[in-house]
Amino acid sequence: MALKKLRRDYPEPIPVDRDPKAPSCSCCGESTEILSRRTLLRRAVGSAAMATMISLFPGLLSSPRKAFAANNAGKTLVVVFQRGGNDGLNTVVPYTDPEYYVMRPRPTVVGNGIGVLPPGSGDGSGLALPGTGFALHPSMQALMPLYANNQLAIVTRGGFVGSTLSHFTDQDTLERGVFTLQDGWLNRYLQAVPGAGAATIRAASFSNDLADSLRGAVLVPAVNNLRSLSFARLGSSKAPLESNLRAMYAQDPASTTTNPFRNLVHALGPDMLSRVATIEAIGPAAPQNGATYPATGFGNQMRDLAHVIRSGVGLEVATVDLGGWDTHEDQGGAGGFAQVQASRLADFAGGLRAFHDDLGPLMGNVVVMTATEFGRTVKMNASNGTDHAKATVWFLFGGGVRGGFYHGASGWVSSLIPANLDQGRYIAPTVEFRDIYADVLTRHFGATTSEVAAVLPNHTHRPVGLFG
């Protein structure tokens, strides 16, 4: 059997502080998932004494902010991050460009080729988006009604100039908004824009770990599974445990331990108990409106997220992660030749559609935005996959979002010939990701110019026009 060859003819820096247990890119060795708590802690505190951990939570010591602004009342933003770099050209397919099938031959019975067939071509055909020259990957059938109803915005060339083609640095850039800053752009939003009332849980990361976009001065919980976040399973031991914990947290930290974390633990403990009690009070998730979620981790997290939004605890910002998009090998096309990407897209689209249906009329106050650190090369590689590239597809839907295509000021490329590509192999970004963020901040949350500047410092907002 011939050995598959991996292409790697571009520089990709490898971080020296990667968690060796995290899933990694077969091409560059980088982690393609969220970083482990241990890794993040090392980066946060370096070689300094552990007592400096308290500096990660300055909000504990700061004075209260002003009352609240009304513009964001009842509004929620959900950010779904496709970690690994989703291939936009097989997600939203420019099938009317003959060069697409030169760069990505149609699949054959021996598995060569990843091109998604034109609509109406049989098994593996794309889903036509009338009048656009594009088609959706057939695994994304679940999102077709949203597009038909002008509810799905498709940004075809999202990204930023200066991409390093590194999972680590580009994810950090997108999540921080500015790479050199340490806190996340969503946490800066929570700091800059006062909460609309007394939210019990204003923000949460529905994941095994807290997304970098939510790290910062405002304390934000990570919720992997609502059913596991409860003391109820302890039965008769629940009440005495909670009582003992509250009594312990109420003690003077200096009198109970010399641990440098003592102040932080005593401050966070009551907050943790309060949030657990809030989750317990809303009960198990019960999808409505006939919504059927994929039986996957992503589907379960989207189901839990919808339930928390519907419960009225004041959730304003949430993140969800979906990995598996680093398709250097066996990416596949569609239909009977579908491989890695097709299954990911089915999970992705199925979870988003179920979430939309589950919330029903409540979607008028909810915006879902999908993001991914970069796209993939226009030409398939020798391993029947694609390599790291630049611009790619982002999606938005929900309250006030105006459906349709957003290619940026220069439009879509006239043809995928190398002369029209960045360095002969990449789709160049023409819709800056910070402009997408700013559109959401101003049009969905009603953030002011000064508030946007606090979230995205030194950025001049050029509206994308994503909201009607």
Average pLDDT over residues 226-235: 63
User: Would the pLDDT of 12 be above 80?
Assistant: no
Q: What is the pLDDT of residue 440?
A: 98
Instruction: Mention every residue, 6+ apart, whose C-beta is less than 8 A from residue 215.
Output: 40, 182, 183, 184, 187
Give kind and range of the element (H or E) at residue 349.
helix 340-359
User: Would the pLDDT of 78 be above 60?
Assistant: yes
User: Would the pLDDT of 23 be above 70?
Assistant: no
Q: What confidence tens digit (pLDDT) does each residue in 339-362 have?
A: 999 999 999 999 999 999 999 999
Q: What confidence tens digit (pLDDT) does each residue in 102-152 have?
A: 999 999 866 689 999 999 999 999 999 999 999 999 999 999 999 999 999
Rounded to a whole number, what is the distance in angstroms from the first to the last CA of the chain?
55
Average pLDDT over residues 48-70: 33
Instruction: Mention every residue, 6+ apart, whose C-beta is less than 8 A from residue 46.
Output: none
User: Would the pLDDT of 328 be above 80?
Assistant: yes
Q: What is the pLDDT of residue 248?
A: 67
Quick one: pLDDT band at residue 32, thresholds 50, 70, 90? low
User: Would the pLDDT of 335 be above 80?
Assistant: yes
Q: What is the pLDDT of residue 162?
A: 95
Alpha-carbon span 231 to 228, nearest angstrom: 8
Q: Are strands 127-129 and 203-206 parallel, antiparallel or unpaired?
A: unpaired
Selected residue with higher pLDDT from 466 and 25: 466
Average pLDDT over residues 249-272: 67
Quick one: pLDDT band at residue 273, thresholds 50, 70, 90? low
Alpha-carbon span 467 to 448, nearest angstrom: 16
Residue 80: beta bridge partners?
320, 370
Residue 398: beta bridge partners?
367
User: Would the pLDDT of 374 be above 80?
Assistant: yes
User: Would the pLDDT of 387 be above 90?
Assistant: yes
Mean pLDDT lowest for which of 1-10, 21-30, 206-215?
A: 1-10
Selected residue with higher pLDDT from 247 and 379: 379
Q: What is the pLDDT of residue 362?
A: 97
Alpha-carbon span 414 to 316, nearest angstrom: 40
Walk me through the domains of the chain, giving residue ranges and CATH numbers.
73-227+288-455 (3.40.720.10), 228-283 (no CATH)
Nearest to 391 by CA among 165, 166, 157: 157
Q: What is the pLDDT of residue 223?
A: 87
User: Would the pLDDT of 179 be above 70?
Assistant: yes
Q: What is the pLDDT of residue 253?
A: 66
pTM here is: 0.84
Residue with tokens 């890119």: 25
Q: What is the pLDDT of residue 169?
A: 97
User: Would the pLDDT of 186 be above 80?
Assistant: yes
Average pLDDT over residues 305-319: 95
**Cα separations (Å) of 52 from 41, 60, 188, 191, 394?**
11, 14, 21, 21, 38
Q: What is the pLDDT of residue 229?
A: 62
User: Would the pLDDT of 5 be above 60?
Assistant: no
**Cα separations (Å) of 46 from 43, 195, 426?**
5, 32, 36
